[in-house]
Amino acid sequence: MAFDEPTLLVVSPEQADERLDVFLAAAAGVSRNQIQRQIEAGLVRLNGKPPAKAGVKLRAGDQVLWAEPEAEEWELLAEDIPLSVVYEDSDLIVVDKPAGMVVHPAVGNPRGTLANALLFHCRDLAGIGGVLRPGIVHRIDKDTSGLLVVAKNDLAHHGLAEQFAAHSIERTYRSFVFGRPPAQTGTVDRPLARHRTDRKKYAVVDEGGKRAVTHWRIEADYGDICLLECRLETGRTHQIRVHMLSLGCPVIGDPVYGQPKRLSHLHDKILHDRLAVMSRQLLHAATLGFIHPRSGERLSFASPLPADMAGLKAWLDERAGK
């Protein structure tokens, strides 16, 4: 699986007395050695706490929280990179990530990530949630902009991870898409799994896969394209991008699922030329809401459209006489 949300697993009576590493290796489809390294890296929680050892015996009802790492690892260095901080206290920080910034080091992006910036900004993050993901409990794609929450300590990390695993986090995205969905509002409730032939992509599947639910509404209809509001009930990798493609409304600028021919087939040359200069997928994490892990207070945050998307909306509104 990719690192989208932590996975919460509950030990059944039949699985009682299994070793933790054996249990997770079977669930994840990876080797015990890989699981043991992940436990050492802090990517596993057993009933809310780091397990004492990989071979600990499990009991029925135990809760195992797990996030899979990337295949390669690098040394994570603090870098003085500007951050747009929306909220910060002693437990957590909410940032507004710009498009083009990777959340944590991965293949092709070992430096200049949000994790590098966070390590510089929050000096006490080291060791929270794993070496390469200090405090990070969720992510958004490199070319998606918008809001993320990051934990500063184990209490916050566990509390937030549990909310993500339970799908109780409130997340709304805004996106420009080609075409028009079949109604003013609707829901896509279709499981996602890795593409059968391209393992870097995801696809909707009829059987198997992970449950994925996206609620959408049309915020503005411009004829050939629409601005949508998409509310996540789950948070799978590439979820909105794949679900919108399944509706026949791919995200504009998406290099993987965006169907470049949709742009070339636009009859409106002025619109074509305006969209052709957009340099990334037009998807923005606009709102984020959760329960503060320590205080129990409900926190909600909103981020306006970034300059590229706001500029496009203003141009479209003026053109439509709105």
Predicted pLDDT at 30: 66
Q: Note the pTM of the prediction, 2 decimals.
A: 0.76
Burial class (CB in 10 A: 0-12, 13-18, 19+), 71: exposed
Specify the pLDDT at position 221: 97
Tokens for 101, please give them: 């910034």
Which pairs from 294-303 meet CB under 8 Å and 24+ separation?
294/91, 294/155, 294/156, 294/159, 299/87, 299/94, 300/170, 301/86, 301/87, 301/94, 301/147, 303/86, 303/96, 303/145, 303/146, 303/147
Query: Is the model's pLDDT at 3 over the cut of 50?
Result: no
Report whether 177 contacts 218 (CB < 8 A).
Answer: no
Intervals of CATH 3.30.2350.10 along the chain: 85-134+142-166, 170-320
Indicate where the chain has its CATH 3.10.290.10 domain(s): 7-66
Query: Does the structure show a pLDDT above 70 at 109?
Result: no
Q: Which CATH superfamily is domain 170-320 in?
A: Pseudouridine synthase (3.30.2350.10)
Find the catalytic residue in 21, 96, 141, 154. Answer: 141
Whether residue 141 lies in the annotated active site: yes
- Is residue 49's pLDDT more than 50? yes
Work out the pLDDT band at 125, boundaries 50, 70, 90. Answer: low
Q: Look at residue 108 and tell me whether its pLDDT is greater than 80.
A: no
- Quote the radius of gyration of the chain (alpha carbons, Å): 20
Structure tokens at 64: 């195992």
Give the pLDDT of residue 252.
97
Alpha carbon distances (Å) from 295 to 125, 134, 167, 171: 20, 22, 20, 20
Tell me the fold of 7-66: 3.10.290
Which pair of tokens denotes residue 274?
């305006």
* pLDDT higher at 135 or 257: 257
What are the helix and strand counts (H, E) for the chain? 8, 14
Query: Once rounded to an integer, what is the mean pLDDT over residues 275-302?
Result: 96
> What was the pLDDT predicted at 70?
53
Distances (CA, A) of 234 to 169, 191, 213, 260, 319: 9, 10, 6, 27, 36
* pLDDT per residue as tens digits for the range 193-218: 988 877 778 999 988 889 999 999 99
Confidence tier at 71 by pLDDT (50, 70, 90): very low
Span 132-187, pLDDT tens digits: 566 788 889 899 999 999 998 889 988 999 999 899 999 999 999 999 999 999 99
Q: Which amino acid is at 90?
A: S
The proportion of the chain whose per-residue pLDDT surpasses 70, expressed as a percent, equals 89
User: Of 18-22, 151-155, 310-314, where does the model show the most confidence?
Assistant: 310-314
What residue ranges in the chain does DSSP mark as E strands?
A: 7-10, 44-46, 63-66, 85-88, 92-97, 145-151, 170-178, 185-189, 192-194, 202-204, 213-221, 225-232, 283-291, 298-302
Mean pLDDT of 216-228: 97
Given a cut of 60, whether residue 1 has pLDDT beyond it is no
CATH tag, 85-134+142-166: 3.30.2350.10
> What is residue 39's predicted lDDT score, i.e. its pLDDT?
85
